[in-house]
Amino acid sequence: MADLTDLTAPDVAEIEAMARAAMAMLPEAFAGPAKDVAVQVADFAPDDILDELQIDDPLELTGLYEGIPMTEKSVADQPGGPDIIWLFRRAILDEWASRGNVTLGDLVGHIVVHELAHHFGWSDDDIARIDRWWE
């Protein structure tokens, strides 16, 4: 049996690197517009976001798109900063451990693509119609 006593969970920078690797693999039609989206990784979603989304357990939120979808942007919008994909490391690690059947890189990549779909104007219902990952 391998000695696993020196292993540590991936840190924020490693999760961000996985997200950027997933974004680098997007088809060109999506890769260009995705370059305008920042990626931020935190251990947990802040309480105000959890309250707004009516989520009691912070381990239930793995990612969040924060911005104005491309389908709703206007030249009259005053940008307050870039659109952001938030990834919540501890929730991602919890889901990864509970699934046990996907690599961490695949899970992070899937969350990034899901949140990018919101950037492109897709709703959760739109995404669910073609993506059965979460079932």
Encode pLDDT of 47-86 as tens digits.
999 999 999 999 999 999 998 888 887 766 666 778 999 9
Question: Which amino acid type is present at position 91?
Answer: A
Q: For residues 68 and 121, is the Cβ–Cβ distance under 8 A? A: no
Q: What is the pLDDT of residue 80?
A: 72
Q: Is residue 41 part of a domain?
A: yes
- pTM value is 0.87
Q: Is residue 2 part of a domain?
A: no
Q: What's the domain count of the chain?
A: 1
Angstrom distance (rounded) from CA 80 to CA 82: 7
Please compute Rg for the chain using Cα positions: 16
CATH number of 110's domain: 3.30.2010.20
